[in-house]
């Protein structure tokens, strides 16, 4: 993915985020592919910032439809699997914050919350993550 044009380099982070949502490599890859096709088909997205935000919003929406289940083979991604176990919307808020692709106001838009709600959501997610034991890779 290093050969991608600059405005599409967020796809690697998109796959990581999709893995956090699904807990499975194959499901993450499929979800990113569907979201990418959805974004690429849109002619009204003139800025890369809007394209990127829509891409992650699609991933968030699609991730809500998938049963959360990390496969044992996925333990090589122990930290991501730990994030996968956090409840929404904290899981997405924390993952998106750490990917450093969006400002807090944009994260709030993606997860469908207000910017004022975000600090409490992040605090709860951090608390939940601290209680999850993840095996060391």
The CATH label, of 3.30.1490.120, 1.20.140.160, 1.10.238.10, 1.10.490.10, for the domain at 6-130 is: 1.20.140.160
Q: Which residue has the higher pLDDT, 63 or 120?
A: 120
Domain map (residue ranges) of the chain: 6-130
Mean pLDDT within 24-35:
92
**Contact (Cβ atoms closer than 8 angstroms) between residue 21 and residue 59:** yes
Total-model pTM: 0.77
Residue-level pLDDT at 137: 43
Average pLDDT of the chain to the nearest whole number: 84
Neighbour-count burial for 15-37, b at 16+ CB within 10 Å, e otherwise: bbbbbbbbbbbebbeebbeebbe
């Amino acid at each position: 993915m290093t050969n991608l044009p600059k405005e599409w380099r967020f796809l690697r982070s998109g796959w990581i985020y999709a893995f956090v949502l699904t807990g499975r490599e194959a499901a993450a890859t499929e979800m990113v592919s569907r979201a990418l096709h959805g974004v690429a088909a849109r002619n009204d997205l003139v800025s890369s910032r809007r394209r990127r935000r829509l891409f992650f919003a699609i991933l968030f929406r699609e991730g809500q439809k998938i049963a959360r289940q990390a496969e044992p083979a996925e333990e090589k991604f122990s930290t991501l699997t730990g994030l996968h176990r956090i409840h929404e919307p904290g899981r997405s808020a924390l993952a998106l914050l750490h990917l450093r692709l969006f400002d807090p106001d944009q994260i709030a838009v993606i997860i469908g919350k207000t910017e004022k709600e975000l600090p409490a959501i992040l605090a709860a997610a951090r608390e939940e993550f601290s209680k999850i034991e993840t095996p060391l890779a």
